[in-house]
A and B are shown apart, each in its own frame.
Chain A
Amino acid sequence: MTMIFGVPLAVFMGQLTLGLVNGAFYALLSLGLAVIFGLLKIINFAHGAQYMLGAFAALLGFRYLGINYWLALILVPLVVGAFGMLLERYLLRKISHLDHLYGLLLTFGLALIIEGTLVNFFGVSGARYATPEVLQGGLDLGFMFLPTYRAWVLVAALAMCLFTWFMIERTRLGAYLRAGTENSQLMQAFGVNVPLLITLTYGFGVGLAAFAGVLAAPLYPVSPTMGSSLLIVVFAVVVIGGMGSIFGAIMTGLAMGVIEGLTKVYYPEAANTVIFLVMILVLMFRPAGLFGKEA
């Protein structure tokens, strides 16, 4: 049997694949954060809660309204995104002229309130969300058994990342957006409704989190606390990639998924810490992040 660093090739390949799947997930979540921070300069600590809301909305929508998975994948990001827009319009905007820390505290407080309320009603054990029928079963890749659903997560997450990157970097709307955050007064003078643009952007970032939540619902038990543990990792990914860098968030997300996956084979005890180790190294040698522009 071929061995790679003392691990059979098949196992190594398997871990690499799983790492990519998790990485796509990190990419999707950190992308939302990066969009919100890069364009709005809001440190969105409610991102984990918004991701959780996405999963919950899918679960409750199915349970009470019979909304199926595919419909949820479209509807839930819209609904949760709209909720995000309300938050931006009526809360975040009021403190937009203050230091970033205030936004961080406000979103963190909101996250605690949302989580606490749901814990009160649903407990923490979590509930199962059934995998849609067409995506059940698995693919035999020769070196491993890959559940079809995970393959789908990889495809869907990457497609969404590309779409977002394209929207912001290559379209006229994206150009307005970037210009609006660079110099909002000038843009307003040109007749662009910058506050509306900001509200929409925040809603879009929140929608991305909710989309990730729907994708996660069949993978993990849907519980009110599912977002809080993930949030810190995702923040580390954004810092490594460079705060606000969209391309950086996507690449770093994938890379961190793979690094974490390999750590789980070679030294599992460090699996939860390895990303933070990378973060420290990056902050020491490239404080602006791997893909960030030097400030």
Chain B
Amino acid sequence: MKRFAVQDHELVPEHILLTPEEAQQVLEQYGVEARYLPKIHVTDPVAEEIGAKVGDIIKIKRKSPTAKESIFYRLVID
């Protein structure tokens, strides 16, 4: 069985795992605590693929039909 990267699928936007410093910067920029961000499960296929752990923040570069590209953040939860 061949393996294929979930992130290659056309429905899946690019997910980027943020370093703790970058994550802190994002939270300061928006003035929110991490728990108020939208969530993603640690068992999510893409989260598993990029090796995210509970508490990490994932930056998602969505392809938007209106803005072409939009940035979204999700907090990894279990």
Query: Do A and B interact?
Result: no
B residues lining the A interface (CB < 8 Å): none
